[in-house]
Amino acid sequence: MKAAVIHGPGMVTCDTVPDPVIKDHRDIILKVTATAICGSDLHIYSGGIPQPRPMVLGHEFMGIVEETGKSITKLKKGDRVVVPFPIACGNCFFCSHGYPSNCEHSNPDHYGPEGGILKEKGGALFGYTDLYGGYDGGQAQYVRVPYADVGPRLVPDNLSDEQVLFLTDIFPTGYTGVDWGEVKGGETVAIFGAGPVGIMAAKAAWLRGAGRVLIVDTLQYRLDMARKAANAETILWDDNDGRNAIETIRAYTEGRGADVCIEAVGFEPERTVLDRAKAVVNFEKGSSKVLEACMSAVRRNGIVPVLGVYPVTYDNFPVGQFFDKGLTLRGGQAPAHRYIDTLLTYVKEGKVTLDDIITHRLPLTSVSDGYSMFKKKEDNCVKVVLDPWSE
């Protein structure tokens, strides 16, 4: 089969690899009909999260059941499903308590209570390095889906692939930030990052009754998309530390700051030479400056949900500000299984549109171009969807 394989930083190619096979009686084999490149895939592509061996990438995918293991009871060959990105057993302590991304059974080689990129991890993710389970991902023509009675959800025939594809990750992740932010109605929600997750967070904020939704980004074309697709007010981050954006948010909120500031960028924002030098000196990967800007822009006793990836520790983290302002920080991989049924209902009822952020549709054979364009933010790229079967 054809599949997108990472061979090292900046090297993703469409290769011919062996078809996946059933390895456990709880597996299915899925024929992938649509898949996408996620912003977090770029952390592997850049080398920020290491992957030493070739691996099939991709955790945003859906398709048609091709084969089922003998214990599968909820699915049959020919069913059309969308698959949440964490791999979860459904039965362990964390799965039973609604935290499938911390599944105790899906990542046995690297699981543990400590946490951190080079220490013990949580549960497994599709196509997201050996640290997160080593499972091949869905940027391929076929993919093995473990614990398939737990994750995949049936898709109504009247909905297209593109209408539901982002239920895999970016919409549940955006919604997670709003839920962690305890948005109940009337709040001002500021979102740092106008990429796919940030825009989905804005859509989710409106669904939860936010009174005002602001999005901050360094690129005007992404802000234009946020305004068009999510009806958000936009703020351009036009300096190094985000002070102008922070002061604008305060000006919009009588000096207090936003009720909720959602971090949707992660550890690899745009950085100056000085930022990069500091990271080298402190043995850091990337920068925490966007998270720190969120902590400044949120009001006292506000909430900062962290959706962007932060794999390591950072020097001079503002714990004093966290304490003095009485902030609540929430972060981690989104518990997509918890929200996917509710979010699918929103799509079915026409309460939210997800496919309006797609800017590029490419065959899987052009995956190298897709990764390069998305990473470099060329051609006003916001979201790339890949067709595994077209040429």
Q: Is the pLDDT of residue 141 over 50?
A: yes
Residue 40 phi, psi dihedral angles, 5° rounding:
-70, -20
- Integer Cα distance of 189 and 334 in angstroms: 19
pLDDT tens-digit series, residues 361-373:
999 999 999 999 9
User: What domains sit in the chain, N to C, each tagged with a CATH number?
Assistant: 2-169+334-387 (3.90.180.10), 170-331 (3.40.50.720)
Amino acid 312: pLDDT: 79
Q: Does the pLDDT value for residue 117 go beyond 90?
A: no
Whether residue 35 has pLDDT greater than 50: yes
Residue 281 has pLDDT above 50, yes or no: no
What Å distances lie between residue 195 and 190, 230, 288, 374, 384, CA to CA? 14, 12, 17, 10, 12
Segment holding 27, helix H or strand E: none
- DSSP string covering 122-138: -SEETTSTGGGT----S
Mean per-residue pLDDT for 301-319? 91
CB 94 within 8 A of CB 84: no
pTM: 0.94
Question: What confidence tens digit (pLDDT) does each residue in 249-261 have?
Answer: 999 999 999 999 9
Distances (CA, A) of 391 to 146, 155, 313: 29, 26, 43
pLDDT recorded at residue 286 = 72
Report pLDDT for 268: 65
**Average pLDDT of span 209-227:** 97
Which pLDDT value is given to residue 273? 40
What mean pLDDT is predicted for residues 186-193?
Answer: 98
Query: Tell me: the pLDDT tens digits for 88-116?
Result: 999 999 999 999 999 999 999 999 999 87
* Residue 282 pLDDT greater than 50, yes or no: no
> What percent of the chain has pLDDT above 70?
95
Mean pLDDT of 75-99: 98
Q: What is the mean pLDDT of residues 332-356?
A: 97
> Within 10 Å of residue 44's Cβ, how many Cβ atoms?
20
- How confident is the prediction for the chain on average, in pLDDT? 94
306 sits in which H/E element:
strand 298-306
Distances (CA, A) of 8 to 53, 129, 160, 345, 385: 8, 11, 34, 39, 22
Summarize the confidence of residues 74-86 as an average pLDDT.
98
Give me the percent of the chain exceeding a pLDDT of 90. Answer: 88
Over residues 326-353, the mean pLDDT reads 97
137: closest CA among 45, 256, 266? 45
Cα gap 98→96, rounded to integer Å = 6
Mean pLDDT, residues 62-90 taken together: 98
Region 43-49: what's the mean pLDDT?
A: 92
Query: Is the model's pLDDT at 279 over the cut of 80?
Result: no
- Give the pair of three-digit tokens for residue 60: 């945003």
- How sure is the predictor about 161, in pLDDT bands with cuts at 50, 70 and 90? very high
pLDDT band at 285 (very low <50, low <70, confident <90, very high): low
Calculate mean pLDDT across residues 226-253: 96
Confidence of residue 271 (pLDDT cuts 50, 70, 90): very low
> What gap in Å lies between CA 113 and CA 313, rounded to an integer?
16
Cα–chain center distance at 209: 23
State how beta strands 212-217 and 188-192 pair: parallel
214 forms beta bridges with: 190, 233
As beta bridge partners, residue 360 has 384
